[in-house]
Each structure stands twice: as C-alpha cells, then as structure tokens.
Structure 1
Amino acid sequence: MLKFDNTCTEYPNMTRVLDEMLYSKRKTQNISQTVLENLIGRSRNCIQQAECYEHLPAFFTILYSAHALEFSDEEFTCLMLALWVAFQENLQFQSERGGWYGER
C-alpha cells in the first residue's frame, strides 16, 4: 500500500511502477537495503527514502539498482517503458489538476 506523501501526490504512477517493479524485486530476492547500498554505492538512507516515497530516486540510482538486482534485458526494458508511460500519465494528471502539487 502506497503511503500518502509528496511523491505519491506528484508522481503517483511513477511511484506505483517503482514499487511494483523495482522495490518489490529487492524484497522478493531477500536483499536488505544495506546489501543494496553496498552494491550500488548509494547510502541506505537514499534507498530507504525512495522506498518510503519521500522522493523519487535519481535516474542513475534506478539504473544501478536494476543492475545490482540482475534485471534481465526484458525486465529492464519493461521497467523503463513503464516509467515512461507513468511519467506521461503524471504529466496529464498534473495538467488536469492545473499545475504541479504545491503550486497555488
């Protein structure tokens, strides 16, 4: 279940894709955030904040994570395409709302 936070409000579709395709893979492989930290060279805090929807991870963090979690070419392609579609959906969502979250 997604927590209600800024990334869920601003980027709900991208947050869902990352949760379903990236964060869940780490959990199903039973890899701790600490182990992933050492594999990708990012802090555990960075990983924790992304997985708790405090911010979207940087593009290179997604790439390093996918590599460390041994995504197949097909899985990686699906992840990137799903993120692209989700990004476009979020742009449409924001347009319909009249601006980005927090703008008045």
Structure 2
Amino acid sequence: MTPDLFSQIVAAAACIVILWRAEPAINRMRARSSPILLRLSFWCLAVAAIGALVEIVLSGPPPWPATVGAIGVALLLFCERRIRYLTRRPPTVRPDVQ
C-alpha cells in the first residue's frame, strides 16, 4: 500500500466519521434553542467533510495537515461534548472525612 493510498483511506474514513457524527447533531438542533455559532460550526464541519470526500475522489491524496486535522475533528466528535465533564477532576477520597 502506497503512502498516498493510505492517506486517502485515512482521510476518507475520518470524513465519513465526521459526517456520521455531525448529521444527527444538526438534525437535533432547534432553531431557537441552539446557539447560532454551534449550529453554524456543525454545518461547516459537514460541508467541509463532503467537500474533502469529493476532493479525495476527484484529485488524489490530501496534504498531510488536512488528514491530521480531519482525524482530530473526528476524534473530538467522539468525545464527550459537555465542558463540565471534560474539566471535572475525579473525586478524591479523604480519610479524615466520613
């Protein structure tokens, strides 16, 4: 497997994951209850993933920064999106308090 083919497969898989995770999020957003920046960001992610897939099919391998960026976005869409969950420290047990 050549590096170009590997890069195409990895980037296409990341774009498919982005579409798979962003599309339901867009569908669940309501016009009045969701912030406009959040709706716009998910819409831009979906459009960019579609454009990247088309570009991969038509022209060839993407540059490596774009591939790494697509992987990063796909991984971020898999993690928990609540900031409180990401910043919370695990509970510690203090022996003197019961």
Q: Please report the TM-score for the alignment, with normalisation by the length of structure 1.
A: 0.34
Larger Rg belongs to: 2
Q: Please report the TM-score for the alignment, with normalisation by the length of structure 2.
A: 0.35
